[in-house]
Structure 1
Amino acid sequence: MPSLCWVKYKGAAWVAVLGLLTLSANTALAALSYTAQVTDNGLRYLVVNGEFETTDDLSKFVASIQISNTQAVTFNSPGGSVVKAMELGRLIRSLRLDTIQIRNMECASACSLAFMGGILRLAQPGSIGVHKSSFSEDPTLNVADAVSAIQQMTANVIAYMTEMGVDPALLQLALTYNSDDIRYLSGSEMEKYHLTMTGTQPSADQDPQRASMPPPNISPPVLPPTAPQYPGAQANLPPPTVEPPSFAIPTAKSGRVQNYNGQAPLKAAPSSASRTVVTFMNGSALTILDDTGKWFHVKVGNRVGYMFHSWVWVAEYGAGPYGTQFVQVKSFDNYAQTEQYVRGSPLPLTAFLASNGWFAITLDRTLDPDGAEALLTKLKASGSIPDDAIATWGNAFVRKVCCTGR
């Protein structure tokens, strides 16, 4: 039977606990089941078996964790429902669990999304497979609605990967492989896309909502001084910041619906799988009653329910005018790297504190959606910005934090 070296952290310091994790291969079954295991050196872990289905009751997962006092989760799954896999990933993150994966146990397709939920993520090369998601054919959907649904799902997956500290460029790789094919990732690719973690873990006193951080020794790329600039770009570097920026996040109280699909569902519970109460168009005013961590409890008109953070433009954040988009170039988990990147770029950039504690680097102006996409395409083609840059509404951007005097 195979083994995997398990490295455990305590707070922000390295504490090497080296043990052998032995896992027996189980045949993946329909729907999810959970098997508690323990290694000879006392590491408790839970094996998630089977295919992700929209009807899976994840309360059974929580109960299994509580009963077995599990420290880590591993998978034997061919994939399944993307929505349910992301729901399990967020649950793993909220329970502060680690994830591991070895080659003789399958974790493919949607399973890779659940794996991303781990605070610490370790995997053997070739143990995780990705490909293009397949969408069930619904004869009631016309072509426009089907395309819209796929676009919405893609946006949700990108938001989820960013939330989990994984480079969304991994999705671009996955999309090059059809749903009937599979691409197993090498060890270097897992590190490149931050799917596995080799750096330090966030300390226990940090915000539990904060996404897991990529290795801190990753140097931000610096654009060459001859990189093409769009009109108005500044060539000279700015003076040092005089005052340290504020990283306090204001309480979200009000806002509007702002979603890539032009509308957003009001859910009965803080879960993507929960019942849709009603759907509201972009621009619909809402009152934010509470923030559950990933979902806002909101009131829209006389209806009360839940909306995911990325579906809501928050008035108290004030990152940019409603209805305009940012071109997001890069993101970092710490301010020092953020400021270094902004100041070292020939492009006019600014940085925003995001509601999850990360920092998003964008071009210093917002545009209408068509203009943002056109500029994004132009800058990528010229090599001025990374290939994984995106156009985004910036709903989670709280305020500008870098760089004063630019």
Structure 2
Amino acid sequence: MRAAHKLLLGLAAVALLCGQLPAPMDPANPSCPKAPDWSNNKIMALKVVRKGDARVLLAEGPVDQTLPDRLKQALTDNPDISEIWLRSPGGNARAGNAAGRLIRATPGLVTRIPAGWTCFSACNFVFMGGQLRVVEPGGNFMVHMFTMTGDRDAIDQSVALGTETTVELIGDIEQESALLASEDNDFLIRMGVSRKLLTDIMYKQKAVTSGGDQSTRRCLTQDEVFKYNVANVQE
């Protein structure tokens, strides 16, 4: 009995040293980690490294409007890149879509969310560009419903200018949100991801607000990433 207890303690110590113990979950959103690992970079950094025999592009940080051009240059300069590993809090939605389409134009390129890393929001669409896609157990494909109404500064300013300006801004927001939703739907179809990801998951989440309400977030389970064909390679 004492030997078994020592064995369990030893295994726990090994798991702790290897970083294999599960991260604490967010009480406001039990499907996601309390402190997502999506890097502290100000914009997405692109770095080519060697992992075993493979050349891997590490893509870490927020998606900004310069990402598609920088990603295109990185892939052009390093044609032997076989995988892109992603962790990101999201960012510019259209830049994420453009980067995803660019990745899809590179045959056989693998996108991966490693264990412990989180790919959120616009990063989802970068990731889905991979022809082959891997979400490792412990990796987080984190989603929310896109909205433009989180831009409280623009709304507050329009209210100060009067009702007519506010009505016009809200109309623009609704039109832009509808357009982006249509683009997202088309993107999923082109990438071979189930459209039910939008209807079953994304559109059922509350919109992200300027207050950063974490209950708006949802992390897919391993069963779900395969159910919706978000991941199509199981290792």
TM-score (norm 1): 0.41
Q: 1:34 to 1:193 in 2, by over 3 A?
A: same
Q: How far apart are 1:76 and its partner, in Å?
A: 1.6
Q: What are the equivalent positions in structure 2 for 1:46-125 lying under 5 Å apart?
A: 46-54=57-65, 56-68=66-78, 69-96=80-107, 97-125=109-137
Tell me the secondary structure at the aligned position of residue 153 of structure 1. helix
Taking the aligned partners of 2:54 and 2:90, their CA distance within structure 1 comes to 26
Cα deviation code 1:365-392 (max 9, x no counterpart): xxxxxxxxxxxxxxxxxxxxxxxxxxxx
Aligned to 1:6: none
Q: Give 1:190's aligned residue.
A: 225
State whether structure 2 residue 144 is matched by structure 1 residue 131. Answer: yes
Q: Which has the higher contact order (CA 8 A, sep 6+)?
A: 2
Amino acid at match of 2:113: Q
The alpha-carbon deviation at position 51 of structure 1 amounts to 0.7
Question: What amino acid sits opposite 1:153 in the alignment?
Answer: L
Distance 2:173 2:74 in 1: 37
Secondary structure of the equivalent of 1:142?
helix
Change (3 A) 1:26 1:81: closer
The 3 A distance-change label for structure 1 pair 26 and 106 is closer
- 1:316-327 mapped onto 2 (5 Å cutoff): none
Question: 3-state DSSP class of the match of 1:71?
Answer: strand
The secondary structure found in structure 2 opposite 1:46 is: strand
Q: How does 1:172-321 map to 2 (within 5 A)?
A: 172=199, 173-178=201-206, 179=208, 180=213, 181-198=216-233
Which consecutive aligned stretches of 4+ in structure 1 deviate over 6 angstroms post-superposition? none
**Partner Cα distance (1:144, 1:63) in 2:** 38
- Checking the alignment, whether the CA contact within 8 Å between 2:47 and 2:59 is kept in structure 1 is yes
Unmatched segments (≥5 aa) in structure 2: 1-17, 21-36, 159-164
d(CA) in 2 for partners of 1:57, 1:195: 22
CA offsets 1:341-372 (integer angstroms, 9 cap, x no match): xxxxxxxxxxxxxxxxxxxxxxxxxxxxxxxx
Count the aligned residue pairs: 176
The answer (yes or no) to whether the contact 1:36–1:44 under 8 Å persists in 2 is yes
Q: Quick one: which amino acid aligns to residue 140 of structure 2?
A: S
Structure 1 residue 28: Cα displacement: 3.4
Is the Cα contact below 8 Å between 2:38 and 2:88 reproduced in 1? no
Unaligned runs of 5+ in 1: 4-24, 200-406
Larger radius of gyration: 1
Deviations 1:11-51 (CA, angstroms, capped at 9, x unpaired): xxxxxxxxxxxxxx7723122210111112x1111011111
Q: TM-score, normalised by structure 2?
A: 0.68
- Deviations for 1:151-200, whole angstroms, at most 9, x for unmatched residues? 1111110011111000111112112223232111111101110101149x
User: Deviation of residue 63 (structure 1)?
Assistant: 2.4
2:121 alignment partner AA: S
**Contact 2:67 / 2:99 at 8 angstroms: preserved in 1?**
no
Q: Secondary structure at the match of 1:72?
A: strand
Change (3 A) 1:103 1:133: farther
Q: 1:31 to 1:150 in 2, by over 3 A?
A: same
Q: Deviations over 1:36-85 (max 9, x none)?
A: 11112x1111011111123x153322222233321111112011111111
Alpha-carbon distance, 1:102 to partner: 1.6
What do residues 133-159 of structure 1 show as CA deviations (whole Å, max 9, x unaligned)?
A: 232534464322221211111111001
CA contact (8 A) 1:89 1:118 kept: yes
Which one of 181, 187, 192 corresponds to residue 154 of structure 1?
Answer: 181
Task: Give deviations 1:221-248, integer Å, cap 9, x for gaps.
Answer: xxxxxxxxxxxxxxxxxxxxxxxxxxxx
Correspondence list, 1:363-402, <5 A: none
Residue 65 (structure 2) pairs with residue 38 (structure 1): no
Report the 3-state secondary structure (helix = DSSP H, G, I; strand = E; otherwise coil) of the residue aligned with 1:107: strand
Work out whether residues 130 and 184 of structure 1, in 8 Å CA contact, stay in contact via their aligned partners in 2. yes
User: CA 1:26–1:146 in structure 2 vs 1: closer, same or farther (change >3 Å)?
Assistant: closer
Q: Distance in 1 between matches of 2:176 and 2:125?
A: 19
